[in-house]
């Protein structure tokens, strides 16, 4: 790797933080996590080589093209390529000489619900021949507790003097660049003793800018770091399912779950964030993480401790059933042969990710029940088409609404929130809207002549 001049800076108002740029970094895996991490590290001034086994992905990244929609990524990628601080390759040998090797490969759900560690294991095995003493392997992927200790032993046995640590990632899709460059906190899971101290110093250099700005940094042992990540996601999933359970109660009791969330959210101990009732959570993290966490707790003989996560999962999946049932109800019992406009396919706004997307699942189920579905999403049509080519994809909100007998808003994109309900009323055949994310202005849509059905209100 290129060795840039080591420059020493003073950072922070205290003037005590000393750090050197650039750190020579490798990032293994160029998916949502790795591509953003690699580009962000180059943006911070480090010297980065990023590796992936997928030549198509590497070719696009090397050409400055983000392989998925993530606000801000194209800009930092172009900047990093222009500065010469980043290279993309399929050749693992090119990571040789990096001081810090980040593992950023996926840990998808396996057939039993447990995490599939194939990619993590393959990444470590193929890294080992190119690793040298004094270098650090830094896991960022979400793994079952105990994985890091196993990999740490593998690394130090194969390359004495090399150290594996765990530094989980908490980025949210849609805010991934911001969350990587200035996260809420850093968590370093390191071994005891000198190796651990050297690892902390190395990561402090990597993250010097954010640390100088005061970002909290917690140094813990390996299992704690692994658990911090998965328990944070389990907590977030539980918070969402809690409010969705309240939505179920509100629906039968005649209450409004949005007002309820506002009211309980004023209690600082509860907080309003992640209390938006709707279709529930999806994506590549929360659903598979709660299942993997449960599976791991079972393996460790403490399955009962996480038994509640089965309910969290069940409440979440019931939201999708509820919307399908509501669609049938508002259309007089059946959706077969009826024109349904589906607005939103991504699992959340500002993303083209349709992994475990509640919106796409509902669209596909309505099609399965015989509805004629016109589906639109500002960014996720191409990704949705790969999974469900049989849906009728349209190119605008207006195209979806035209002649619709029912409108379903399933992802809370700004474009849908802002759409003029009067214009919508003029386009549809039947003014009924199901607001699956409670994101529309109910009064404005009602005033425009729509029958409005929200979630839990």
Going along 72-185, which residue ranges are E strands? 86-89, 100-103, 136-139, 163-166
Structure tokens at 36: 């953003």
By CB under 6 A, the residues from 412 to 441 that bind ligand UGA are: none
How far is Cα of residue 411 from the mean position of the Cα atoms in its chain?
15
By CB under 6 A, the residues from 133 to 192 that bind ligand UGA are: 142, 169-173
Strands of the sheet with 24-28, listed across from one edge: 86-89, 47-51, 24-28, 100-103, 136-139, 163-166, 186-189, 217-220
Measure CA of the first residue to CA of the last residue in the chain; give whole Å: 58
Please, which residue, 196 or 456, has the CB nearer to ligand UGA? 456
Total residues in contact with ligand UGA, by rule CB under 6 A: 21
User: Closest distance between ligand UGA and the C-beta of residue 411, in Å?
Assistant: 8
Please, which residue, 287 or 421, has the CB nearer to ligand UGA? 287
User: Closest distance between ligand UGA and the C-beta of residue 367, in Å?
Assistant: 21
Please, which residue, 24 or 437, has the CB nearer to ligand UGA? 437
CA separation for the pair 417, 413 (Å, rounded) = 7
User: Closest distance between ligand UGA and the C-beta of residue 336, in Å?
Assistant: 28
Q: What is the DSSP letter of 31?
A: S
Which x/- pattern over 203-242 shows residues binding ligand UGA (rule: CB under 6 A)? ------------------------------x--x---x--
User: Closest distance between ligand UGA and the C-beta of residue 360, in Å?
Assistant: 11
**Residue found under tokens 């046995």:** 157
Please, which residue, 19 or 242, has the CB nearer to ligand UGA? 242
Three-state secondary-structure class, residue 56: helix
- In this structure, is the dihedral angle defined by the CA atoms of residues 153, 54, 49 and 68, taken in order, positive or negative? negative
The Cα-based distances of 435 to 326, 408, 454 in angstroms read: 11, 6, 5
Please, which residue, 276 or 328, has the CB nearer to ligand UGA? 276
Of 60, 338, 339, 348, the residue at the interface with ligand UGA (CB under 6 A) is 348
Please, which residue, 274 or 308, has the CB nearer to ligand UGA? 274
30 is catalytic: no
List the Cα angle 178/207/191 in 5-degree steps: 125
User: Closest distance between ligand UGA and the C-beta of residue 435, in Å?
Assistant: 13
Question: Is the preceding omega at residue 4 within 30 degrees of 0, hence cis?
Answer: no
CA separation for the pair 166, 144 (Å, rounded) = 12
User: Closest distance between ligand UGA and the C-beta of residue 358, in Å?
Assistant: 7
Nearest to 439 by CA among 363, 365, 344, 360: 344
Of the residues 176, 285, 306, 384, which is catalytic? 285
Which x/- pattern over 256-285 shows residues binding ligand UGA (rule: CB under 6 A)? ------------------xxx-x-xxxx-x
Catalytic positions are 285
Given the rule CB under 6 A, which residues bind ligand UGA?
A: 142, 169-173, 233, 236, 240, 274-276, 278, 280-283, 285-286, 347-348
């Amino acid at each position: 790797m290129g060795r840039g001049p080591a420059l020493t800076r003073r950072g922070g108002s205290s003037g005590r933080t000393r750090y050197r740029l650039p750190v020579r970094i490798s990032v293994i895996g160029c998916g949502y996590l790795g591509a953003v991490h690699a580009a962000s590290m180059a943006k911070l001034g480090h010297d980065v080589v990023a590796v992936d086994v997928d030549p198509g992905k590497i070719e696009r990244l090397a050409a400055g093209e983000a392989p998925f929609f993530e606000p801000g990524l194209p800009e930092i990628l172009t900047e990093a390529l222009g500065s010469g601080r980043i290279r993309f390759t399929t050749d693992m040998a090119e990571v040789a000489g990096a001081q810090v090797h980040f593992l950023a490969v996926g840990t998808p759900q396996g057939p039993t619900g447990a995490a599939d560690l194939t990619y993590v294991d393959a990444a470590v095995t193929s890294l080992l021949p190119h690793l040298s003493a004094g270098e650090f392997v830094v896991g960022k992927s979400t793994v079952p507790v105990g994985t890091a200790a196993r990999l740490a032993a593998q690394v130090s046995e194969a390359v004495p003097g090399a150290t594996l640590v765990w530094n989980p990632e908490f980025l949210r899709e849609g805010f991934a660049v911001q969350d990587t460059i200035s996260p809420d906190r850093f968590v370093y899971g390191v071994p005891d003793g000198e190796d651990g101290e050297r690892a902390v110093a190395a990561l402090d250099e990597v993250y010097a800018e954010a640390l100088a700005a005061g970002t909290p940094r917690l140094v813990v042992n390996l299992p704690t770091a692994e658990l911090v990540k998965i328990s944070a996601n389990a907590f977030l999933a539980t918070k969402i399912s809690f409010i969705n359970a309240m939505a179920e109660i509100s629906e039968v009791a005649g209450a409004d779950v949005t007002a309820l969330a506002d009211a309980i959210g004023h209690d600082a101990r509860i907080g309003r964030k992640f209390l938006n009732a709707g279709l529930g959570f999806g994506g590549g993290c929360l659903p598979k993480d709660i299942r993997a966490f449960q599976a791991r707790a079972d393996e460790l003989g403490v399955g009962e401790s996480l038994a509640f996560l089965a309910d969290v999962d069940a409440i979440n999946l019931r939201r999708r059933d509820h919307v399908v049932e509501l669609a049938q109800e508002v259309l007089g019992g059946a959706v077969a042969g009826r024109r349904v406009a589906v607005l939103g396919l991504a699992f959340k706004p500002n993303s083209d990710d349709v992994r475990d997307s509640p919106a796409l699942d509902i669209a596909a189920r309505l099609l399965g029940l015989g509805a004629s579905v016109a589906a639109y999403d500002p960014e996720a049509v191409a990704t949705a088409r790969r999974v469900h080519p049989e849906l009728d994809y349209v190119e605008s909100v207006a195209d979806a609404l035209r002649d619709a007998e029912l409108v379903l808003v399933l992802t809370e994109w700004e474009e849908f929130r802002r759409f003029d309900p009067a214009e919508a009323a003029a386009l549809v055949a039947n003014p009924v809207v199901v607001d699956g994310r409670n994101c529309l202005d109910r009064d404005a849509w009602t005033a425009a002549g729509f029958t409005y059905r929200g979630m839990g209100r």
